[in-house]
Chains A and B, each alone.
Chain A
Amino acid sequence: AQSVSQHNHHVILSEAASLELGCNYSYGGTVNLFWYVQYPGQHLQLLLKYFSGDPLVKGIKGFEAEFIKSKFSFNLRKPSVQWSDTAEYFCAVKGNTGKLIFGQGTTLQVKP
Chain B
Amino acid sequence: DGGITQSPKYLFRKEGQNVTLSCEQNLNHDAMYWYRQDPGQGLRLIYYSQIVNDFQKGDIAEGYSVSREKKESFPLTVTSAQKNPTAFYLCATKDRGNQPQHFGDGTRLSIL
Question: Are A49 and B100 in contact, with the CB atoms below 8 A?
Answer: yes
Binary CB contact string for chain B from 97 to 112 against chain A (1 if under 8 A, 0 otherwise): 0101111111000000
Question: Are B44 and A46 in contact, with the CB atoms below 8 A?
Answer: no
Measured between beta carbons, the chain B residues less than 8 angstroms from A32 are: 98
Complex Cα distance A90/B100, Å?
13
Question: Are B44 and A102 in contact, with the CB atoms below 8 A?
Answer: yes
A9 closest partner in B (C-beta): B40
Measured between beta carbons, the chain A residues less than 8 angstroms from B58 are: 99
| Shortest beta-carbon distance from B96 to chain A in Å | 12
| A51 contacts the other chain (CB 8 A) | yes
Chain A contributes a number of interface residues (CB within 8 A of B) equal to 21
**B residues 63-112 in Cβ contact with A at 8 Å:** 90, 92, 98, 100-106
Measured between beta carbons, the chain A residues less than 8 angstroms from B1 are: 43
Complex Cα distance A90/B103, Å?
13
Interface size class of B (residues with CB under 8 A): 20 to 34
| B34 contacts the other chain (CB 8 A) | no
The list of the 10 closest CB pairs from A to B, nearest first, reads A44-B103, A102-B42, A102-B43, A104-B42, A43-B105, A43-B103, A46-B100, A105-B42, A51-B98, A49-B100
Having A43-B90, A102-B35, A103-B42, one finds 18 other A-B pairs with CB under 8 Å, namely A6-B42, A36-B103, A42-B105, A43-B1, A43-B103, A43-B105, A43-B106, A44-B90, A44-B92, A44-B103, A90-B42, A92-B43, A99-B45, A99-B48, A100-B101, A102-B44, A104-B41, A105-B40
What are 18 inter-chain pairs, A to B, with CB distance below 8 A?
A4-B42, A6-B42, A32-B98, A34-B100, A36-B103, A43-B90, A43-B104, A43-B106, A44-B92, A46-B102, A49-B100, A51-B98, A92-B43, A99-B48, A100-B45, A103-B42, A104-B41, A105-B40
